């Protein structure tokens, strides 16, 4: 069979997917680019061409810079905590103890819980009048009066980060555990004979096996955290006083609440660019890590 025919046949089999992807992703993306140079409203006829006005207005607004800081804080703290707790949980699950299989099975629960259900659950836990957190802390005499964890600017973002970590650290743990189980027993045994302490053993013997899979988890989790919408929309809608407003929430408000489609589109593309830069930087890092671990 000729290779040209093989390639043509492959393209024919790819075609339905490509057509649908162009229709639901390619065309909307191009259209977003076009809209971002206009003052179009969400409903009604297309707006006027305004050049880079949307971009310059957006980039110079204090709303944008504040939101960028909030998003970055949310992403860095949540992902860092998820990585650390996830690896610790994986190291624990890699030990031999009774009930290990059950505990491992339980790890899938927070991951499987729909994001909106997770957000609702934590919203109930943080409830200022009847929430379990207030009840527990009061009954333990750690606080005197019930607090509004999601209603106070000082605690809202931290409360969201806890909810995000609880749902996502088990995934990191499962990925890390699979990597740990690939570490050959002979190597850890040999390092013991050579007198390596627990810290050095982790740093020099185990970590190289973890590095690759953990980098992948780190990239995907960071991109997810940077795009976060569902969790925040259900728990705080970006409040109080916009202290938990992330970039995706800001785009939603701009394009759909205020119906400024053009300006919203420009912001959406700025966010896309930031996520892409993040991913490219990470990809370079992954290649480097994979190279040094091999």
Partner 1 sequence: MERKSPAFTVFIYACALLLAAIILAPIAWLFIMSISPAADLAAKPLRWWPGAADFSRYQQLLSTAENSAGAAFIASLRNSLEIAGMATLAALALAIPAGWAVSRTPAIGWSLSMVIATYMLPPVALAVPLYMGLSHLGLLNNVFGLALVYLTILAPFTTWLMKSGFDSIPREIEAAAMIDGAGLFQTLRIITLPLAAPVMATSALFAVLLAWDEFFYALLFTSDQRAKTLTVAIADLAGGRVSDYGLIATAGVLAALPPVLIGLVMQRALISGLTSGGVKG
> For residues 234-293, which are near partner 1 according to CB under 8 A?
234, 237, 247-248, 251-252, 255-256, 261, 264-265, 268-269, 271-272, 275-276, 279
**The residue to which tokens 């819980």 are assigned:** 113
Residue 223 lies near partner 1 (rule: CB under 8 A) = yes
Q: Which residue among 87, 156, 159, 174 contacts partner 1 (CB under 8 A)?
A: 174
Q: Which stretch binds partner 1 (CB under 8 A): 51-59, 72-80, 150-158, 174-182?
A: 174-182
φ, ψ at 153 (rounded to 5°) = -55, -30
Crossing angle for the helix pair 156-180 and 62-93, to the nearest 10 degrees? 40
Q: Which residue among 95, 141, 142, 294 contacts partner 1 (CB under 8 A)?
A: 95
Q: Which residue among 123, 209, 210, 245 contacts partner 1 (CB under 8 A)?
A: 123
Residue 111 lies near partner 1 (rule: CB under 8 A) = yes
Q: What is the Cα–Cα distance from 249 to 224, expressed in whole angstroms?
A: 14
Please, are residues 279 and 220 in contact by the beta-carbon 8 Å criterion? no
Q: Which residue among 69, 84, 116, 190 contacts partner 1 (CB under 8 A)?
A: 116
Closest residue by Cα to residue 113 from 170, 172, 176, 177: 170
Residue 103 lies near partner 1 (rule: CB under 8 A) = yes
- CB of 153 vs partner 1, minimal distance in Å: 20
Q: Which residue among 25, 143, 241, 284 contacts partner 1 (CB under 8 A)?
A: 25
- CB of 116 vs partner 1, minimal distance in Å: 4
Q: What is the Cα–Cα distance from 114 to 164, expressed in whole angstroms?
A: 12
User: How many amino acids of this chain bind partner 1 (CB under 8 A)?
Assistant: 93
Q: What is the Cα–Cα distance from 50 to 34, expressed in whole angstroms?
A: 11
- CB of 146 vs partner 1, minimal distance in Å: 9
- CB of 152 vs partner 1, minimal distance in Å: 19
Please, are residues 243 and 153 in contact by the beta-carbon 8 Å criterion? yes
| 100 vs 203 by CB, closer to partner 1 | 100
- CB of 155 vs partner 1, minimal distance in Å: 18
The neighbouring-strand residues paired with 49 are: 38
- CB of 206 vs partner 1, minimal distance in Å: 13
Please, are residues 121 and 162 in contact by the beta-carbon 8 Å criterion? no
The neighbouring-strand residues paired with 38 are: 49
HSE-CB at 289 with a 13 A cutoff on CA atoms is 18
- CB of 292 vs partner 1, minimal distance in Å: 19
Q: Which residue among 57, 61, 72, 127 contacts partner 1 (CB under 8 A)?
A: 127
Residue 97 lies near partner 1 (rule: CB under 8 A) = yes
HSE-CB at 10 with a 13 A cutoff on CA atoms is 6
Q: Which residue among 75, 89, 161, 210 contacts partner 1 (CB under 8 A)?
A: 89
Q: What is the Cα–Cα distance from 280 to 161, expressed in whole angstroms?
A: 25
DSSP state of 49: B
Footprint on residues 46-85 left by partner 1 (CB under 8 A): none
């Amino acid at each position: 069979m000729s290779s040209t025919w093989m390639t043509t046949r492959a393209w024919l089999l790819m075609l339905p997917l490509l057509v649908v992807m162009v229709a639901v992703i390619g065309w909307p993306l191009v259209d977003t680019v076009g809209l971002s140079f206009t003052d179009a409203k969400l409903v009604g006829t297309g707006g006027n061409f305004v050049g880079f006005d949307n971009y310059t207005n957006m980039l110079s607004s204090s709303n944008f810079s504040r939101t960028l800081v909030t998003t970055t804080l949310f992403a860095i703290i949540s992902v860092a905590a998820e990585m650390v707790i996830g690896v610790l949980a994986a190291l624990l699950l890699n030990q031999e103890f009774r009930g290990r299989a059950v505990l491992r099975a339980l790890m899938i629960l927070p991951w499987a819980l729909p994001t909106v259900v997770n957000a609702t659950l934590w919203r109930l836990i943080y409830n200022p009048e009847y929430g379990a957190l207030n009840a527990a802390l009061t009954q333990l005499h750690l606080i005197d009066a019930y607090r509004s964890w999601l209603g106070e600017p000082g605690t809202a973002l931290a409360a969201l980060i806890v909810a995000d970590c609880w749902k996502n650290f088990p995934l990191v743990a499962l990925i890390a555990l699979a990597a740990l189980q690939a570490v050959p027993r002979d190597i850890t045994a040999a390092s013991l004979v050579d007198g390596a302490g627990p810290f050095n053993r982790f740093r020099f013997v185990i970590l190289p096996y973890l590095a690759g899979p953990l980098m992948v988890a780190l990239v995907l989790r960071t991109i997810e955290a940077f795009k976060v919408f569902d969790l925040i929309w259900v728990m705080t809608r970006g409040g109080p006083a916009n202290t938990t407003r992330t970039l995706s929430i800001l785009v939603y408000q701009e394009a759909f609440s205020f119906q400024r489609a053009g300006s919203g589109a420009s912001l959406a593309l700025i966010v896309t660019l930031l996520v892409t830069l993040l991913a490219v930087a990470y990809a370079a890092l992954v290649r480097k890590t994979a190279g040094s671990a091999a």
